[in-house]
């Protein structure tokens, strides 16, 4: 008789443990399937929603200030054409940069611009180490680097062309872009409210009708001059609006690791963040580009041979941290 209560107590206890374990397992499963750690911020991955037909503008020659060149709108939209508004401002472009190789290799200079300054929907490539560029081309080709958002058509195109470009062309393009110095391109402004924006061609542009809205935890990067950006003028840069306080918070994370949130970026990217050895520069570059890279390292969409070095850096970063970090990085001299 005395054993009765204790054995039923034990049975009760075991049952309780089993139920608890089941609950934990169920919870784990739930968090497993609910896994996407965070929603991709639309301002960094604006994608390419179908845009309304372009207004029937003049069909003749287009111009940008300070250039005697002229191109038609059709040429400016052609992935095998590089509108070269200022040919004397950069070294002679290798064939693959200026014309690409038909059918599959679009001209590098079309997207990245002849001087490698890049645009928010792609990346700046000027001044990156040759070996780093060659490595990234191999990563794209081998499926080790893609976008966390398959809707980023610009990245899809980059991956596509990496599959058919030859080693010689990669080397020529890498030497070319590596030889050019990245120029200041982003003007960072801390604000509480931003101009309202809409998505066009993989980037944000001012919304028709104007107006402002709270910035929230976002970086809003827009062309300084939309018309010149649309003409692919490689001398017309971008404004990045960031939340008030971002620069100070970003500096703490970048230079001191934010008290254990991350590692000091300067350790590997150099004291001035302008790169060290084959580790790329992260100073003065587009915050939308840099945000995508940090998130792509987090999700594993970017997983090349050197990506493990960034894993420990990005694991704990929240979107607020990333906004502050990339705003601060963009504000630094390239
Ligand atoms: C259709 C537009 C397009 C063309 C043409 C293009 N790229 Fe890219 N490139 C991109 C995009 C988009 C990215 C990645 C942006 C991202 O990850 O968010 C990229 C990224 C890169 C990177 C990685 C830069 C970094 O900092 O990690 C390199 C290097 C590069 N491109 C080189 C080239 C070369 C060389 C060519 C010509 C053979 C070329 N690209 C042609 C759109 C293009
Ligand atoms: C332990 C070394 C190390 C540290 C610390 C480090 N990085 Fe990196 N970072 C790298 C390497 C190596 C790469 C190139 C990875 C690759 O090839 O995919 C890289 C790439 C990047 C890129 C992509 C650049 C591009 O051109 O696409 C960004 C953005 C970046 N790091 C940001 C940061 C930030 C922000 C910090 C600090 C919070 C940081 N890194 C700290 C080693 C490091």
pLDDT > 70 fraction of the chain, expressed in percent and rounded: 86
Sign of the Cα pseudo-torsion (120, 130, 329, 264, in order): positive
For residue 58, what pLDDT band results from cuts at 50, 70 and 90? Answer: low
Average pLDDT value for residue range 27-50? 66
Calpha distance 334→331 (Å, rounded): 9
pLDDT in tens, 287-329: 999 999 999 999 999 999 999 999 999 999 999 999 999 999 9
pLDDT in tens, 220-268: 999 999 999 999 999 999 999 999 999 999 999 999 999 899 999 999 9
Residue 123 alpha carbon to ligand 1 centre in Å: 6
Residue whose CA lies nearest to ligand 1 atom number 19: 122
For residue 59, what pLDDT band results from cuts at 50, 70 and 90? Answer: low
Whose atoms come closest to the Cα of 133: which ligand?
Answer: 1
- Cβ of 279 below 6 Å from ligand 2: yes
Residue 93 alpha carbon to ligand 2 centre in Å: 28
**Is the pLDDT reported for residue 176 higher than 50?**
yes
Residue 316 alpha carbon to ligand 1 centre in Å: 27
CA distances from 71 to 75, 81, 115, 231, 255 (A): 6, 10, 18, 9, 45
Q: In which residue are the tokens 């980059």 written?
A: 158
CA distances from 297 to 84, 210, 215, 290 (A): 34, 35, 25, 11
- Cβ of 284 below 6 Å from ligand 2: no
**Is the pLDDT reported for residue 57 higher than 80?**
no
Whose atoms come closest to the Cα of 140: which ligand?
Answer: 1
pLDDT in tens, 96-131: 999 999 999 999 999 999 999 999 999 999 999 999
Q: In which residue are the tokens 């029937």 written?
A: 56
- Cβ of 106 below 6 Å from ligand 1: yes
Mean pLDDT of the chain: 90
**Is the pLDDT reported for residue 29 higher than 70?**
no
CA 115 from centre of chain: 18
* Residue among 83, 112, 115 to mutate when testing ligand 1 (max atoms within 8 A of CB): 112
Average pLDDT value for residue range 163-182? 98
pLDDT at 308: 97
- Cβ of 148 below 6 Å from ligand 1: no
Contact (Cβ atoms closer than 8 angstroms) between residue 288 and residue 219: yes
Minimal CA–CA distance to 283: which of 185, 204, 189? 185
For the CA of 329, the closest atom of ligand 2 is 35
Minimal CA–CA distance to 40: which of 150, 157, 128? 150
- Cβ of 105 below 6 Å from ligand 2: no
């Amino acid at each position: 008789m005395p054993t009765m209560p204790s054995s039923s107590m034990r049975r009760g206890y075991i049952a309780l443990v089993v139920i608890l374990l089941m609950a934990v397992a169920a919870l784990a499963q739930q968090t497993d399937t609910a896994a996407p750690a965070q929603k991709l911020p639309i301002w960094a991955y604006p994608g390419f929603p179908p845009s309304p037909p372009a207004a029937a503008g003049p069909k003749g020659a287009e111009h940008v200030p300070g250039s005697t060149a002229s191109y038609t709108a059709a040429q400016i939209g052609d992935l095998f054409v590089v509108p070269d508004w200022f040919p004397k401002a950069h070294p002679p472009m290798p064939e693959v940069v200026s014309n690409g190789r038909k059918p599959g290799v679009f001209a590098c200079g079309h997207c990245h611009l002849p001087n490698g300054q890049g645009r928010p929907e792609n990346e700046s490539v000027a001044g990156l180490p040759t070996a780093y560029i060659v490595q990234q081309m191999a990563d794209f080709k081998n499926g080790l680097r893609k976008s966390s958002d398959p809707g980023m058509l610009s990245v899809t195109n980059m991956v596509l062309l990496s599959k058919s470009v030859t080693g010689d062309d990669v080397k020529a393009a890498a030497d070319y872009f590596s030889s050019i110095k990245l120029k200041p391109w982003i003007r960072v402004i801390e604000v509480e409210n931003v101009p309202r924006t809409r998505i066009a061609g993989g980037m944000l542009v001012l919304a028709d009708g104007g107006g402002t809205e709270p910035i929230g935890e976002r970086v809003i990067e827009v062309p300084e001059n939309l018309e010149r950006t649309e003409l692919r003028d490689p001398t017309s840069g971008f404004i990045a609006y960031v939340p008030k306080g971002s620069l100070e918070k970003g500096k703490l994370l970048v230079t001191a690791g934010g008290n254990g949130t991350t590692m000091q970026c300067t350790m590997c990217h150099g004291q001035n963040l302008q790169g060290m050895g084959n580790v790329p520069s992260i100073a003065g570059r587009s915050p939308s580009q840099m945000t995508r890279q940090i998130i792509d390292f987090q999700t594993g969409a970017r997983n090349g041979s050197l990506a493990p070095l960034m894993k420990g850096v990005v694991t704990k970063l929240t979107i607020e941290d990333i906004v502050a970090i990339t705003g601060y990085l963009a504000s630094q001299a390239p």
